[in-house]
Amino acid sequence: MSSVKIEEGDRRMIGTHGEQTYPHECCGILLGKMYDEIKVVEAVKPLDNARTDSKENRFLITPHEVRQGEREAHRSGLEIIGFYHSHPDEVASPSGYDLENAWPWLSYVIVSVIHGQAAEFRSWTLRDDRSRFDPEEIL
Ligand SMILES: [Zn+2]
């Protein structure tokens, strides 16, 4: 099982972002360092959900924002190691939509926001064959 290290402050920032955008999904980029078995989050970059519809159960990060995130990461000697988003009034497990829109290796952090309050906090990685997500240990 792979693992990802996320400081308490960054977890809180993600939870708070999900509470602020409730009942819509929030989203953002995780910047950090990737080692063999572990990824370390060094910074969290909140973004606006670029979806124009279905914001309650879909999120979109534009290629432009990913490029900007990459530039920002490189300036600080970091890389994009994953993405986060919220699930308003849903469990923190990836949806079919999430499966279709994910890339292997990266961490997908999902926070469930129940009645406007951040609750379950989990991380997932996509298998190389893109068949499913596996849970990731959060340190
Ligand atoms: Zn999702």
pTM: 0.95
Instruction: For residue range 64-79, list pLDDT tens digits in order.
Output: 999 999 999 999 999 9
Return per-residue pLDDT of the chain as tens, 139 residues: 789 999 999 999 999 999 999 999 999 999 999 998 899 999 999 999 999 999 999 999 999 999 999 999 999 999 999 999 999 999 999 999 999 999 988 999 999 999 999 999 999 999 999 999 999 999 9
Q: How far is the CA of 89 from the centre of ligand 1 (A)?
A: 11
The b-or-e profile of 103-112 (16+ CB within 10 A means b, else e) is eeebbbbbbb
Q: How far is the CA of 71 from the centre of ligand 1 (A)?
A: 25
Give the integer Cα–Cα distance in Å for 43 and 116. Answer: 24
User: Contact, 79 vs 40, CB < 8 A?
Assistant: no
Q: How far is the CA of 85 from the centre of ligand 1 (A)?
A: 7
- The listed CATH number (1.20.120.50, 3.40.140.10, 3.40.640.10, 3.90.1150.10) that belongs to domain 3-138: 3.40.140.10
Domain boundaries, the chain: 3-138
